[in-house]
């Protein structure tokens, strides 16, 4: 039976420093975005010794506007696409005065308060970049780091990779034929409507960023064309006055029930065809959700023109596959991101077409000491999933839980892969897709399965 999610209460603040236990394995955390701070908090409160390296001068990752680390794709109008209770960490709910969907500055403030509340800010080393991670000659991992103090190599028993996957912009490959005289940017480099003022803009893509940029352009640009190769179900974020994702299912529920919920959300959101958006060839729930409360209104006002895919570029215009053309002096490529790890060589992990097979999107069976935190794309928010990954990792490091054997990991990975291929259509954006509630349930079950008797 469906139920409405409730905010939990905040855990007591940590008022005294927690000293790490030097007898425990030492960990390196790479990144201090949402996943990195979830990992740091979990290790800190477990007294596990660790270093957390952030190449910028602040926490927050994507959610810090103009993050000094240069990897944030945050723009002025960015809001979360998951409601606040569903995005919050389990022991630190978002403030009650927040709206259903928080803005990027509210999310950053929440992360800042989270770090302060649990008192682990001093464990994060800023302006420090991990440049190479490789297996140590006697086990563990050697990590090269570059900081304001220079270069050094440190040794760790475990490495937690939390560098995010929304920073390495993916451009069309191969490029479209023709020549374009105007400007071209990736959505990663979009910051505000000022970049669209008075321009003839073509936004390419059908994801959340494409919808947001097209909507903002509809108020600021001279003209906006939204080029979509494949139709997507665009859900409303608010239905009947409430956040659409507040009606959820228990984690043990089969995917068919989650898919039915998403189909209901699509039905309540209204048909797309009458607004000029192409009818998707897949069912709701077979792709990563796209959400917008405003796109239908702006399409109805004819402030945005929907176009099919691009055929070619011609100097000051874009020609589409249906033979139509639009004047353009700015193209915004909202074409997604590559999964990449500049500090890991292909001999350690090899990512092809955004596909990095991992047990529970976290552990490489051949490198059990290399843990990936937040490297998943949930039907929901990443933060609670990063938190539960960190909890499992901490239990393993403390000796309270054992991971499955290499053979069992590969068997489970194959099973999960078959399941995902049935649930989502084949696309680089779905190589990391998971069902939020079911994933949390599976991870809790895995911690019970692997529990080591005291």
Name the β-bridge partners of 12. none
DSSP state of 116: H
Q: What are phi and psi of 201, to 5 degrees?
A: -110, 135
- The residue-averaged pLDDT of 377-398 equals 94
DSSP state of 235: E
- Lowest-confidence range among 327-336, 377-386, 388-397? 377-386
**pLDDT, tens only, 9-26:** 899 999 899 999 999 999
CA angle 396, 398, 400 (to 5 degrees): 65
Q: Are residues 323 and 349 in the same domain?
A: no
What is the model's pLDDT at position 295?
92
- The residue-averaged pLDDT of 369-392 equals 94
Examine residue 254 and state whether it is found in any structural domain, yes or no: yes
CB of 209 closer than 8 Å to CB of 73: yes
Residue 373 predicted with pLDDT over 90:
yes
Those residues whose C-beta lies under 8 Å from the C-beta of residue 399, and which sit 6 or more positions away, are: 452
Residue 347 predicted with pLDDT over 60:
yes
Q: Are residues 329 and 342 in the same domain?
A: no
Examine residue 97 and state whether it is found in any structural domain, yes or no: yes
User: Across all residues in the chain, what is the average pLDDT?
Assistant: 90
Cα 360 from Cα 379, distance rounded (Å): 15
User: Among the three residues 333, 362, 397, which one is the final residue of a domain in this structure?
Assistant: 333
- The residue-averaged pLDDT of 394-403 equals 97
- The residue-averaged pLDDT of 190-200 equals 98
Structure tokens of 295?
């796109």
User: Among the three residues 289, 306, 333, which one is the final residue of a domain in this structure?
Assistant: 333
What is the model's pLDDT at position 105?
97
**pLDDT, tens only, 415-433:** 988 888 777 767 777 788 8
Residue 33 predicted with pLDDT over 70:
yes
Q: Are residues 154 and 29 in the same domain?
A: yes
Structure-token match 């054997």, residue found = 405
Say what the alpha-carbon torsion angle 262, 268, 269, 272 is, to the nearest 10 degrees. Answer: 90
Structure tokens of 4?
């409405």
- The residue-averaged pLDDT of 183-187 equals 98
Residue 45 predicted with pLDDT over 50:
yes
Q: Are residues 24 and 149 in the same domain?
A: yes
CB of 362 closer than 8 Å to CB of 373: yes
| CATH number of the CATH domain containing 257 | 3.50.50.60
User: Among the three residues 333, 357, 382, which one is the final residue of a domain in this structure?
Assistant: 333
**pLDDT, tens only, 275-300:** 788 888 877 766 777 888 899 999 99
CA angle 281, 283, 286 (to 5 degrees): 105
Residue 46 predicted with pLDDT over 70:
yes
**pLDDT, tens only, 148-168:** 999 999 999 999 999 999 999
Q: Are residues 14 and 147 in the same domain?
A: yes
Which candidate, 358, 354, 418, places its Cα nearest to that of 385? 358
Examine residue 350 and state whether it is found in any structural domain, yes or no: yes
Count of domains forming the chain? 2
Q: Are residues 276 and 403 in the same domain?
A: no
Q: How confident is the model at residue 301 (pLDDT cuts 50, 70, 90)?
A: very high
Examine residue 115 and state whether it is found in any structural domain, yes or no: yes
What is the model's pLDDT at position 3?
40
Q: Are residues 111 and 217 in the same domain?
A: no
| Residue spans of alpha helices (H) in 347-398 | 383-398
Those residues whose C-beta lies under 8 Å from the C-beta of residue 375, and which sit 6 or more positions away, are: 161, 165, 339, 356, 358, 361, 362, 432
Q: Are residues 213 and 88 in the same domain?
A: no
Number of neighbours of residue 153 by Cβ within 10 angstroms: 12
Name the β-bridge partners of 312. 319
Structure-token match 């352009």, residue found = 217
Q: How confident is the model at residue 8 (pLDDT cuts 50, 70, 90)?
A: low
Examine residue 454 and state whether it is found in any structural domain, yes or no: no
- The residue-averaged pLDDT of 339-364 equals 93
Q: Are residues 194 and 231 in the same domain?
A: yes
Percent of the chain residues past pLDDT 70, beyond the cut: 92
The whole domain housing 298 covers 171-333
Q: How confident is the model at residue 245 (pLDDT cuts 50, 70, 90)?
A: confident
Q: Are residues 184 and 79 in the same domain?
A: no
Which candidate, 102, 40, 86, places its Cα nearest to that of 382? 86
Examine residue 19 and state whether it is found in any structural domain, yes or no: yes
Q: Are residues 436 and 410 in the same domain?
A: yes
Residue 252 predicted with pLDDT over 50:
yes
Examine residue 262 and state whether it is found in any structural domain, yes or no: yes
Residue 99 predicted with pLDDT over 50:
yes
- Lowest-confidence range among 128-132, 239-243, 323-327, 350-354? 239-243
Examine residue 429 and state whether it is found in any structural domain, yes or no: yes
Those residues whose C-beta lies under 8 Å from the C-beta of residue 154, and which sit 6 or more positions away, are: 28, 51, 142, 143, 145
Q: Are residues 158 and 190 in the same domain?
A: no
Cα 109 from Cα 86, distance rounded (Å): 17
Q: How confident is the model at residue 255 (pLDDT cuts 50, 70, 90)?
A: low
């Amino acid at each position: 039976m469906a139920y409405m999610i409730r905010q939990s209460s905040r855990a007591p603040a940590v008022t005294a420093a927690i000293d790490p236990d030097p007898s425990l394995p030492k960990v390196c955390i790479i990144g201090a975005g949402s996943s990195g701070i979830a990992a740091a908090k979990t290790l800190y409160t477990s007294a596990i010794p660790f270093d957390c390296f952030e190449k910028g001068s602040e926490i927050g990752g994507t959610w810090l506007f103009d993050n000094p680390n240069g990897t944030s794709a945050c723009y002025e109008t960015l809001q979360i696409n998951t409601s606040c209770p569903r995005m919050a960490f389990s022991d630190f709910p978002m403030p009650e005065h927040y709206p259903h969907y928080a803005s990027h500055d509210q999310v950053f403030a929440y992360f800042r308060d989270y770090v302060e509340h649990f008192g682990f800010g001093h464990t994060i080393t800023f302006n420090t970049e991990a440049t190479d991670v490789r297996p140590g000659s006697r086990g563990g991992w050697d990590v090269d780091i570059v900081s304001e103090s220079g270069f050094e190599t440190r040794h760790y028993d475990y490495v937690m990779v939390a560098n995010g996957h929304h920073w390495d912009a993916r451009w069309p490959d191969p490029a479209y034929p023709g020549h374009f005289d105007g400007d071209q940017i990736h959505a990663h480099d979009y910051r505000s409507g000022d970049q669209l003022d008075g321009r003839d803009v073509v936004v390419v893509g059908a994801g959340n960023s494409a919808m947001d940029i097209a909507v903002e352009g509809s108020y600021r640009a001279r003209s906006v064309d939204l080029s979509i190769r494949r139709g997507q179900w665009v859900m409303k974020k608010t239905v009947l006055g409430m956040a659409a994702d507040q009606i959820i299912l228990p984690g043990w529920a089969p995917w068919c029930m989650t898919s039915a919920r998403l189909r209901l959300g699509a039905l309540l959101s209204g048909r797309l065809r009458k607004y000029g958006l192409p009818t998707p060839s897949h069912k709701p729930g077979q792709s990563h959700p796209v959400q917008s409360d405003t796109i239908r209104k702006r399409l109805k006002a004819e402030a945005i023109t929907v176009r099919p895919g691009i055929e070619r570029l011609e100097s000051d215009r874009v020609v589409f596959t249906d033979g139509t053309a639009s004047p353009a002096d700015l193209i915004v490529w909202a074409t997604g991101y590559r999964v990449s790890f500049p500090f890991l060589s292909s001999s350690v992990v090899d990512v092809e077409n955004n596909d990095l097979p991992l047990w529970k999107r976290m552990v490489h069976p051949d490198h059990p000491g290399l843990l990936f935190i937040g490297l998943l794309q949930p039907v929901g928010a990443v933060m609670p999933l990063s938190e539960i990954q960190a909890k499992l990792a901490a239990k393993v490091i403390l000796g309270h839980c054992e991971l499955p054997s290499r053979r069992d990991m590969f068997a489970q990975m194959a099973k999960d892969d078959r399941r995902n291929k049935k649930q989502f259509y084949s696309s680089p954006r779905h190589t990391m897709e998971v069902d939020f509630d079911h994933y949390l349930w599976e991870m809790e079950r895995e911690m019970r399965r692997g529990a080591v008797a005291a």
